[in-house]
A and B are shown apart, each in its own frame.
Chain A
Amino acid sequence: MAPIYLGEFEYAVLLSVLHLDEGAYAVPIREVIEQRTGRPVARGALYTGLDRLESKGCLKSRMGDPSDERGGKARRYYSVTAAGLKALRATHEAFSSLTKGLESILEQP
């Protein structure tokens, strides 16, 4: 099966989930993307993105335990699936093959 095509935002979300490892739920995921890319992310966009990635099979989720800090609500933790990893690699490869030879332009300060 061909790898799943990822949009730019989906790419960023998946990478953030990888970064956060065990602690990946919506709040820190959004913070990581905002910090690293310097671009604001709407919460609604993140939730729909997560939902879409999950339905594509790139992410899977589990519910954590309810905590007082969250008014008795549980966290939903995400982790990247094998298919998600494959998609990430394919996208990364695609981008790096596209950028090959352009380093002198792209990496200018």
Chain B
Amino acid sequence: MSPSSSTAGERILTLVVRDAELRESMLGDLREEGARLARRAGAGKVARWHLRQSLSIAVRYGVMRILRRKPPVRWITTADLEPQGPWWTGMLRDTRYAWRATLQRPMLSAAVVFTLALALAANSTTFSLMDALVLRPYRFPGVDRLIVATTIAPESTFVDRINVTAADFREWREQSKTVKGWAMYQWWDANLSGVDVPEQVPGFFVSPGYFALLSAPPVMGREFFESEGQRGQHHRVVIGQGLWTRRFASDPNIVGKSIRLDGEPYEVVGVAPPGFNTPDGAEVWAPIALTDEQWANRRAENYGVMGRLADGVSLEQARAELTAIVDTQRNDHADTNLKRYARVMSFTKGMADPGAGSFISVWQAAALLLLLIACANVANLLMARGAERASEYSIRLALGSSRARLFGQTLIEGLVLSMGAVLLSMPLIVAGLAVSKASIPASVLRFIPGWAFIRLDLELFAVTAALGTLAMIIFSVLPAIQATKAQVADTLRQSGRSLTPGRNRQWARSALATTQMALALALVFASALAITAAHETVNGRLGFDKNNVLVAQLNLPERNYSDADTRRRLITEVSDAMRVIPAVADVGVVSIIPAAFNNWTRRFFPEGQDIPELEARTAQFRMATPEYFAAMKIPLMRGRMFDDSDRPESTPVAILSTTLVHRYWGDEDPLGKRFRFALDGPWITVVGVSGDIVHNWFDRRGDMVYVPITQQAPYSVAFAVRTVGDPHALAGDLRRAVAAVDADQPIAALESLDKMVEERAAGFVFISRALGVVGLIALVLAVIGIYSLMAFLTTQRTQEIGVRMALGAGRWQVVRATTSRAIGITIVGTVVGSALAIGVGRAMESILYGMVTTSFVQLGALVAVLGSVALLAAYVPARRATQVDPMAALRES
């Protein structure tokens, strides 16, 4: 038998069988038989036979070792008798002893380490996401001195950071003394053409000095000169690293070359530093060049504003100053600035996605709860070990050891365990972060700054280690106190006779198990809620049919398409070109497709209802073709569809959604009613009522106004193409259809509608899944906790059970006696847990935009499942207790 054919099996056996002689004989036996088998059946079969036999022996032997394991012989440290050196020799010695104590109960130590590592990994993964996405998404130098300033209406809850007018900004820049540098930026969907495939590139117009303000000077070339903010000299562009690599093959001579954006030549003057994509994933930046007339405009709220605080100035001082300036502007220009109030925030807060924080904090809270559960588990296990070692402590106390010494040593033992847990958690964190990164689709990433910072670094390691150590110190104090409370005489008198442990200790452990149970119930309930909501988001009722629809989104540049008729012509021609594709069933056009990232709302003033301008509610606003409703399968409930009679010069008409109609007219017949979007705007007549749709998952209001494209033509156009069969198969055809009409016009996004709905909810789905994992771990930990407690208690009572059975107690009576405590824990745990769960559910309802509804059916089902699992965990050891041979139990002492 060749030695090479057997390594795997032999390694396993070597690992499991610790007895050297037995191991050698086993290995030899297998080799001998293997050689015989090889002669009979051929060498090919031997390897697998050998592995199978080794595994089966290893499993049986391993199980036997575990079942027959006797409490190991305790060593009693003689440290207390050793001469005292400097403090650190004592420390070293204690660490050595702690290490030995850890190895003495490998299973128990492994359980502690593993439990803690899981919880730490969950926490650190969450924390890393929180840190990278919410706390510190921007890390360029001096970011803490940067501010974001905007104006908002007093009643607005949503802070729109791109909401400042040019004239207002100019005055801020001139008057403020607390801010030493200012920059203004404006959204720009730049159409890159003059290349094989035109592409829409996310871009921004920025005021010269923008890169210097953010301390992110271009790595190649330069940033914009002040003079390039003048009309006529403003066709300069800085491109991002991504675009440079992707479209220009990292051309080292790119600076000075000309590229076509929105059909016009722009000279590349620089390449942004790697990773720089502020704001909102920008890949091209060009100077803002306004005419004097535009600079004087106090109506167009098109700009975002950032600034750098002057030296020694605090955010509060800048806020106070800017508030004063904005207040003056409001008084001086009451006609335009009536509803503008200053809002000044730190850069990080100002640029943050308002949604991400609350999501991740829900997750972080869950992870912290998980850590609590894990710590309860660990404390429970440590107390079990403490009980086991009571006699050791007593002997040491009797030998003259100080209680402080024992206390310290127990703590150090905890630290040794926590160190193991921290190390083990590292690969888990790496895996967790990798999964997190993989689960967010690329289309969403643009809006998530700080993505690149998600990784395991030294800081994260330090945080994890600190958390692990802190948790361990807190939770090994309990067993440590117990250790030092040991009453020498009592324990020694009892030694050998392990009686039922004292009431106090039992009480503490039961309380821990109850807490665990309650926390786990709340956590599992929370994750169940989130998962249900996420499922509902993607698969629930949307009001349209998301399947088999391919969506092509175009942004028409103002330069070529300033005339509404040219826009309409493009829409018609592209639609016609798409309709002739064989697998296309319907082509509809809408200004903003459901599940898109943007939305458009307008104030709604119904005729005959006296609503003051400030109190008008808004409704979502869309321009659509009649085919759009057919392509999306949005039903028309009443009235008529748009048709050829709706012309630019005919009566303005609209189709309203059911919810909107009900809001203003109740059960009245809405057809023929009129409304307008502004107090001085034209009246629009309602001609039809459509079904409600959900635009995106966090904004589920159903109000929607559709006006015909023949009367108002959008710049942003989405073609909704209903296909027969796989929509993605038609992507090429759609591209050709667009290119045939306007070769310079890129398709901004081409994606199937179901995918868009899914991606829109990706963050939510991801968080809910992450919560699910956390909940599952919590459940497992809680069950382990109850099981280990029950197993421990039952073992402690083996003698008592033996006596009872010898005296004639039936099996059922024994089971009842041993499980009564578990039943108590389960009842109290589920009651407290249910209360907690309802609270958590309510909190989630408010944080998650009413996406979540507390379901009592779900709660009931969970209580039933968790209760049964807990009782089962208690029953198993109880059942084993009844199988104890009474004689053996009594003899054991």
Chain A positions within 8 Å of B, measured between CB atoms, are: 25-27, 42-45, 47-48, 51-52, 61, 63, 66-67, 69-71, 73-76
Contacts and interface: CB of A to CB of B under 8 A. Distances in A.
Given A44-B61, A69-B35, A74 B28 contact: yes
A13 to B, nearest CB: 15
Interface string B1-43: 1010010000000000000011011111111110100000000
A57 to B, nearest CB: 15
Contacts of B25: 25-26, 63, 73-76
B61 A48 contact: yes
Nearest to B27: A73
Contacts of A63: 21, 24-25
20 contacts: A25-B29, A42-B56, A43-B57, A44-B56, A44-B57, A45-B60, A47-B26, A51-B61, A51-B64, A67-B28, A70-B31, A71-B3, A71-B6, A73-B24, A73-B25, A73-B28, A73-B31, A75-B25, A76-B21, A76-B25
A70 B27 CA distance: 8
Contacts of B678: none
B138 to A, nearest CB: 61
Interface string B760-779: 00000000000000000000
Contact of A47 (B33, B35, B61): B61
A44 B59 CA distance: 8
B601 interface: no
Contacts of A44: 56-61
Interface residues of B, number: 25
Given A43-B30, A73-B31, 9 more contacts: A25-B29, A44-B58, A45-B60, A47-B57, A61-B21, A67-B28, A70-B31, A71-B31, A75-B29
A39 B143 CA distance: 78
A35 to B, nearest CB: 15
Interface in B469-515: none
B28 A71 contact: yes
A75 B6 CA distance: 18
Nearest to A55: B68
B60 A47 contact: yes
A59 B657 CA distance: 88
A77 to B, nearest CB: 9
B56 A43 contact: yes
B22 A47 contact: yes
Contacts of B855: none
Which of B26, B29, B68 gathers most chain A CB within 10 Å? Answer: B29
B53 interface: yes
Contacts of A52: 64, 68
Nearest to B17: A47
A66 B58 CA distance: 22
Contacts of B29: 25-27, 43, 70, 75
Contacts of B35: 69
A16 to B, nearest CB: 15
A61 to B, nearest CB: 8
B175 to A, nearest CB: 87
Interface in B71-106: none
Given A44-B60, A51-B64, A69 B24 contact: no
A70 B31 CA distance: 5
Given A25-B25, A76-B21, A76-B24, A71 B1 contact: yes
A7 B390 CA distance: 37
A43 B25 CA distance: 12
Contacts of B68: 52
A55 B803 CA distance: 27
A48 B32 contact: no
Contacts of B64: 48, 51-52
Contacts of B22: 47, 51, 76
Contact of B24 (A42, A45, A47, A74): A74
Given A51-B64, A71-B31, A43 B24 contact: no
Contacts of A76: 21-22, 24-25
A70 B25 CA distance: 9
Contacts of A75: 25, 28-29
A47 B60 CA distance: 9
A25 B781 CA distance: 45
A72 to B, nearest CB: 8
Which of B3, B24, B35 gathers most chain A CB within 10 Å? Answer: B24
Contacts of B26: 26, 47
A33 B316 CA distance: 89
- Closest 3 interchain pairs by CB? A73-B28, A44-B60, A76-B25
Nearest to A54: B22
B725 to A, nearest CB: 56
Nearest to B20: A63
Given A26-B25, A47-B61, A63-B21, A69 B56 contact: no
A69 B1 CA distance: 8
B796 to A, nearest CB: 25
Contacts of B60: 42, 44-45, 47-48
A27 B27 CA distance: 11
Contacts of B1: 71
Contacts of B58: 44
Contacts of B32: 27, 69-70
Nearest to B25: A76
A23 B381 CA distance: 48
Nearest to B60: A44
Which of B24, B28, B64 gathers most chain A CB within 10 Å? Answer: B28
Contact of A70 (B28, B53, B57, B59): B28
A61 B21 CA distance: 10
Contacts of A45: 60
A42 B29 CA distance: 13
A42 B30 CA distance: 13
B38 to A, nearest CB: 12
A51 B59 CA distance: 15
A76 B28 CA distance: 9
A108 to B, nearest CB: 36
A96 B31 CA distance: 40
B57 to A, nearest CB: 4
Contacts of B31: 70-71, 73
A71 B29 CA distance: 10
Nearest to B3: A71
A24 B30 CA distance: 15
A73 B34 CA distance: 13
Which of A47, A61, A71 gathers most chain B CB within 10 Å? Answer: A71
Contacts of A42: 56, 60
Contacts of A74: 24-25, 28
Nearest to B63: A48
A28 to B, nearest CB: 10
B165 to A, nearest CB: 82
A43 B58 CA distance: 10
A47 B19 CA distance: 12
A47 B27 CA distance: 12
Contacts of B59: 44
B69 to A, nearest CB: 13
B212 to A, nearest CB: 74
A45 B845 CA distance: 57
Nearest to B64: A48
Contacts of A48: 60-61, 64
